[in-house]
A and B are shown apart, each in its own frame.
Chain A
């Protein structure tokens, strides 16, 4: 145990957890990382490429090394940073990316092979021989890739999403954020204060600075007490604001119950969409390290993190309390770690500082020099210190490294604002054109002393509210330290050996040198060639150091070298929380047809059609294969009468004095001449001349039409019609409304349909003379229920579609089935519907796939020359007008063979390639009427090739069928049945 005293943890509350199967004890307030350190555990993982032993580097979300897998089973959570994992009783964690035990990883052989894995090795190694890629390289890379593994099971936890609105969003709850939130909170505006940590206070919790002569934590406690009491302030701990989006919208993830072992009924995480009028970014700063040979051993960590572990978590970074600690720093801030650790009783033997004028602050040896090598494969044992050309090895159990601090500018550049170099701070700070309404405060803008952070936070809040026209009082701030830590630029130690820059992706100074030699010098090329900053930590601890090395190599300044900008998310966001609970059936609403209940009671199997669930076929007792059900339904329609819910077809009500003219312009064929009480088939084109939807148009009265669309295009057709009405022809007096959901519509099809309908209509004359094919009427049924009747047929039989208000749909279906029992009334589903429309050669989605034209559908003459309509002009252009492919039917020469939709058509004896391709099969089915497989499809000059035998090739399955070209009308080609 290397647990110290003090800190912001509850020493009285012990929490048990396991790491790699071994049980340890931590304290309430610990992170997994601090608890492991307090137990003397330094080795926590393996690096990505070389499988180098690694320990905790940081104390925050920038952590590149300490990635672990939490929990188990379906809740297994890989690549979780131990440094931000709040400890709870019963936590189970495992290290990852090793084969065999952590301390004897078989894959560590990669480290010996490291010369093979230089910059760009993927591009250099896996290029040849070409044939090796699929069989060898890719499986190999896939096996080696990734750090932790996913469980492969569905996430069993609940996630949520929500919306929040505020006047001021404060991102980060350290000194600057707290001062901002307090000033705004007291002004009475709506404030949200979010911090990724589970405790507010930021670095104030990790430092020994005093505020008003008291420990900083006392001030934090008082401020939090006041903020909690303000109703206008919402405190959001454990909440990462991960992205700044347009118009003041921020994305945030709140880890609601990640920190408890069993979230009883609670959601795990919530995705928040925060709309903020103004924001203060007070995200603090991230310490950078100094690359030197073998700087990646467990026990080497950032000096500021070391201080945080000692001060906040009472954890020493060493394995044994007596192990000496050494600090390597180029700035005064690193010395603070030495004095703070000494105050905690941790033996700090030396501070190594390359600056000639380095001061000394305590009872430690100050060495003016550098650390340039280390020993201790599984945990640091000694470091080599070089001073004036003289090197010596010093025993060392933990080394704290500080190369200065980088402001956390990330969110400020989410709208492409480029950070700018500040030579005095030796860091990039937020540049121009920040996200609208954002002010950056505190260490995130280089105002890093406690006093400056407090002041800039408060001023940012006051300015933000002033911009909203609200005058906020300046608040009294506590007296605080205002000594800026002096530093001198020192980017890396030049010496033979591998010096890590990016720990997570194993990028060393050598790799950057090689990238430079290979001319990958722009920042973007450097990044991709070496994979620098492309790991899950996104280079938070490495990017700037790498730029500095590249700047040195190119002889340019850092600002000339440039920096990459940041994109959301700030830290990883799980797909589960992005789904926010809208998974599986909750992804979108399910639309049930009005007759759903009745269909279910009749044994329907349902199929998803867009958001709709439609009856696919109805299994009757004794039927063991879907084809039996479908064949029976088809024959029942053709011989008796069938019932099918067709509500899902789009219905658009078109009304107004100019309705007829409007529809003339919407449909390619003439619609305005349609007589009242009649229905006409209509085809719609896109403006580019291709066919896109078809359906019927019924004229109920002079100024009232009902348009039907395909199920799939219902929303699109309506949108396009509104576009035409509002944007193209606003002078036309016409109104539109979608009535798809308002009317239940049932197809009553088959020779007995008239007889059946006569039993439900209220004295309406259904005779062929009064109500012929393509007639429509408004009437009442079942004793006064208003209805619409259309004599239209998709099946080719005598058929009607009857519409009643949606809520009566189920009852009407029940009534029809009941009174039609003696007529053989049979429910049929979408499969039978599809078979019958193929038997009649009617186009549907497969024929109207967006690539076909009216001509190809043999409807070319429908495109009226007498009027303008959407797509008419473009349909006549060269290329479209000369397309010779025509929709025809096909029958297999050998009746026992089945034609497969998607097969391509070739002339017999011809070689088969794209230039000899003659067309394709769009739809195929088994026709119980014909007694074989049948199909329709587009064939070059198909209308002139009746009787020819062509090949329907299905190379995917290595099959082909010889098919005869026939008329697409397999049933009743003269159309006598539907006119009877």
Chain B
């Protein structure tokens, strides 16, 4: 597979380490009253869609940036790749 790195262009998937569902970006608030339940969901529950999936890839053999890659798990077509850093900043601003 080839991953279109937003800064470096098409890179071979072998340069990356895979983590999983991009929902891992949404770490719960530890001070909230339902933190225990929220963390349980966060750590253990994932969607595993047959189709479009937003997921985290780490460019470990490259520039060490974490990417959010939008991939169709049926066709392996990659629809988008963005820096997780930027997305994380954006969602914090929105929150």
A→B interface (CB under 8 Å): 245-247, 249, 275, 415, 433, 436, 687-688, 715, 719, 722-723, 726-728, 730-731, 868, 872-874, 876-877
Neighbouring A residues of B75 by C-beta, 8 Å: 415, 433, 436
Closest to A874 in B: B39
Asked if B17 and A687 sit within 8 Å, CB to CB, the answer is no
Known: A247-B76, A731-B89, A874-B39. A726 touches B60 (CB 8 A): no
Determine if B36 and A873 form an interchain contact, defined as CB atoms under 8 angstroms apart.
Answer: yes
Bits for B60-93, please: 1 = Cβ < 8 Å to A, else 0. Answer: 1000111000000001111000011100110010
List the B residue with the shortest CB-CB distance to A868.
B30
Instruction: Give chain B interface residues in 1-36, CB to chain A under 8 Å.
Output: 1-2, 17, 19, 24-25, 27-28, 30-31, 35-36
- Distance in Å from the Cβ of A167 to the closest Cβ of chain B? 15
Q: Is the Cβ of B58 less than 8 Å from the Cβ of A868?
A: no
**Can you identify 20 A-B contacts, CB atoms within 8 angstroms?**
A247-B1, A247-B2, A247-B78, A436-B77, A688-B43, A715-B60, A719-B17, A719-B58, A719-B60, A722-B64, A726-B66, A726-B84, A726-B88, A727-B84, A727-B88, A730-B85, A873-B28, A873-B30, A874-B39, A874-B43
Given contacts A436-B77, A874-B39, A877-B40, 5 further A-B contacts (CB under 8 A): A433-B75, A687-B42, A730-B89, A872-B30, A874-B43
- In the complex, what residue of chain B is closest to A716 when comparing beta carbons? B17
Main secondary structure of the interface of B (DSSP, over half): mixed
In the assembled complex, which residues on chain B have CB atoms less than 8 Å from the CB atom of A722? Answer: 58, 64, 66
Q: How far is the CA of A249 from the CA of B10 in the complex (A)?
A: 13
Interface size class of chain B, counting residues whose CB lies under 8 Å from the partner chain: 20 to 34
Q: How far is the CA of A874 from the CA of B36 in the complex (A)?
A: 7
B24 to chain A, nearest CB (A): 7
- A722–B43 Cα gap in the complex (Å)? 18
Residues in chain A near residue B25, CB distance under 8 A: 727-728
Q: Which residues of A contact B60 (CB under 8 A)?
A: 715, 719
What's the nearest-Cβ distance from chain A to residue B50, in Å? Answer: 12
Chain B residues lying within 8 Å of A874, measured Cβ to Cβ, are: 39-40, 43
Task: For A724, give the chain B residue with the smallest CB separation.
Answer: B27
- Taking the nearest CB of chain B, how far is it from the CB of A723, in angstroms? 6
Shortest distance between the CB of B44 and any CB in chain A (Å): 8
Are A730's CB and B92's CB within 8 A?
yes
Which residues of chain A are near B83, meaning CB under 8 Å?
A: 726
Q: How far is the CB of A165 from chain B (nearest CB, A)?
A: 11
| CB nearest neighbor in A for B60 | A719
Q: When A and B form their complex, which 10 residue pairs have the shortest distance between CB atoms, in order from nearest? A: A868-B30, A246-B76, A726-B85, A730-B88, A873-B39, A246-B1, A247-B2, A726-B66, A730-B89, A727-B84
Max chain A C-beta neighbours (<10 A), residue from B1, B27, B40, B56: B27
Complex CA–CA separation, A719 to B62 (angstroms): 12
Q: Which residues of B contact A688 (CB under 8 A)?
A: 43-44
Nearest CB on A from B71, distance (A): 10
A868 to B36, CA, bound (A): 13
Contact A687 B1 (CB under 8 A): no
User: Which residue of A is nearest B38, CB measured?
Assistant: A873
Counting chain B CB atoms within 10 Å of each CB, the highest count among A275, A715, A727, A868 belongs to: A727
Contacts of A247 in B (CB 8 A): 1-2, 76, 78
Whether A727 contacts B56 by the Cβ 8 Å rule is yes
Inter-chain CA distance A874–B27, complex, in Å, is 12
Q: How far in angstroms is the closest Cβ of chain A from B82?
A: 12
With contacts A247-B76, A415-B75 known, is A723 near B85, CB below 8 A?
no
Q: Which residues of A contact B92 (CB under 8 A)?
A: 730-731
Task: Kindly state the separation between the CA atoms of A877 and B25 in the bound complex, as whole angstroms.
Answer: 22
Query: When the two chains form their complex, are residues B65 and A726 in contact, meaning their CB atoms are under 8 A apart?
Result: yes
In whole angstroms, what is the CA distance A726 to B83 when docked? 9
Least Cβ–Cβ distance between A836 and chain B, in angstroms: 34
User: Given the complex, which residues of B lie within 8 Å of A249, measured CB to CB?
Assistant: 1-2
Give Cα A436–Cα B92 distance, bound, in whole angstroms.
Answer: 38
B88 touching A723, Cβ below 8 Å = no
Q: How far is the CB of B73 from chain A (nearest CB, A)?
A: 11
Q: Once the chains are docked, how many angstroms separate the CA of A868 from the CA of B30? A: 6
Set of chain B residues within 8 Å of A719, measured between Cβ atoms = 17, 58, 60
Chain B's nearest CB lies how many Å from the CB of A248? 8
Contacts of B44 in A (CB 8 A): 688
How far is it, in angstroms, between the C-alpha of A719 and the C-alpha of B76 when the chains are bound? 25
A874–B38 Cα gap in the complex (Å)? 10
B57 to chain A, nearest CB (A): 11
**A723/B66 in contact, CB under 8 A:** yes
A727 CA to B40 CA in the complex, in Å? 19
Q: How far, in whole Å, are A275 and B75 apart by their CA atoms in the complex?
A: 17
Q: Which residues of A contact B39 (CB under 8 A)?
A: 687, 873-874
In the complex, what residues of A have CB within 8 A of residue B89's CB?
730-731
Q: Please report the C-alpha to C-alpha distance between residue A220 and residue B92 in the assembled complex, in whole angstroms.
A: 65
By a CB distance below 8 angstroms, the chain A residues around B35 are 873
Q: How far is the CB of A644 from chain B (nearest CB, A)?
A: 29
